[in-house]
Amino acid sequence: MVVTGAARGIGQGIAQVLLRNGARVVGVDRTAGEGVDVVADISTPEANRDMVAYAVQKYGRLDAVVACAAVSRRGPFVDIQPEDLAFTFAPTLYGAFYTCQAGAKQLIAQGGGGSILIVGSVHVHQHNPNSASYNMAKAAMASLSRTIASELAGYGIRVNSILPGWTDTPGELNFATREQLDEAGRRLPLGRLGQPEDVGQAALYLLSDEAAYVTGCELLVDGGITLNTRSANSKGNA
């Protein structure tokens, strides 16, 4: 199977969990690193076709694709420039689309079903300020997941998504200190930030035969962060 964004963070966590459980993984990222088999910019259709072809050549077939690669530039909505929007959308939204499309074409061609997994975000439900472009991309990915789940079910191809909450990844240190992240984790219902492996374990389930009857699912892996939001939003309402 192919996992994009595998060089670090959630993508790396997913790839490592899958590998430990016997999966044959092709890690893809735009930067080289441990566990990265293909260095590519997945924001183009050609790169996604090439990475799928690589996986098929190496292992003889494709069983699943995991669209995880994502980036974000944060800031006030009124200050977002076209280049900022393009920076976020290219790998995060367009990349996910092309990854799923390339994977689906191969799965249909070879027959026998398969699985597609999109790594979204709780930002689909929790619309944090100063993240407009990222929120938009993840919301569009949620719609993509449900749409193609219905289209591909007839081929025996399952499509699901994971919505991670606040996860302790290297990218988060671009926006907060270590101390701030630890304190934020202590305020969550489960008392800590998520770890990439938490998302990896969820991915393992959704990609496994144990989830053979699961498609069109959005699995929250958020430590209860959206429970806080729902509770706050319900205060004072009849």
Residue 114 pairs with which residues in a beta bridge? 157
Q: Cα–Cα distance between 184 and 174 in angstroms, integer? A: 15
Q: Which amino acid is at 90?
A: A
In the CATH scheme, what is the homologous superfamily, with its name and number, of domain 2-234? NAD(P)-binding Rossmann-like Domain (3.40.50.720)
Residue numbers annotated as active site: 121, 134, 138
Q: Cα–Cα distance between 204 and 53 in angstroms, integer? A: 23
* Exposure b/e, 35-54, CB count within 10 A at least 16 = b: bbbbebebbeeebbebbbeb
Distances (CA, A) of 165 to 125, 131, 190: 10, 14, 12
Q: Cα–Cα distance between 118 and 163 in angstroms, integer? A: 9
DSSP H or E stretch at residue 20:
helix 9-20
Query: For 62-121, what is each residue's pLDDT tens digit?
Result: 999 999 999 999 899 999 999 999 999 999 999 999 999 999 999 999 999 999 999 999
Structural tokens at position 194: 């998520």
pTM > 0.75:
yes
Scanning the structure block, which residue is given the tokens 């694709």? 65
pLDDT value at residue 238: 36
Average pLDDT, the chain: 93
pLDDT value at residue 183: 94
Residues of the chain with pLDDT under 70: 228-238
What is the per-residue DSSP string for 30-77?
A: SS--TT--EE--TTSHHHHHHHHHHHHHHHSS--EEEE---------G
Q: Cα–Cα distance between 111 and 109 in angstroms, integer? A: 6
Q: Where are the domains of the chain?
A: 2-234
pLDDT value at residue 93: 98
* Sheet-wide strand order for 157-164: 38-39, 26-29, 2-4, 64-67, 114-119, 157-164, 218-221
pLDDT value at residue 234: 37
Q: What are phi and psi of 100, to 5 degrees?
A: -65, -40
CA angle (220 as vertex; 146, 218 as ends), nearest 5: 10
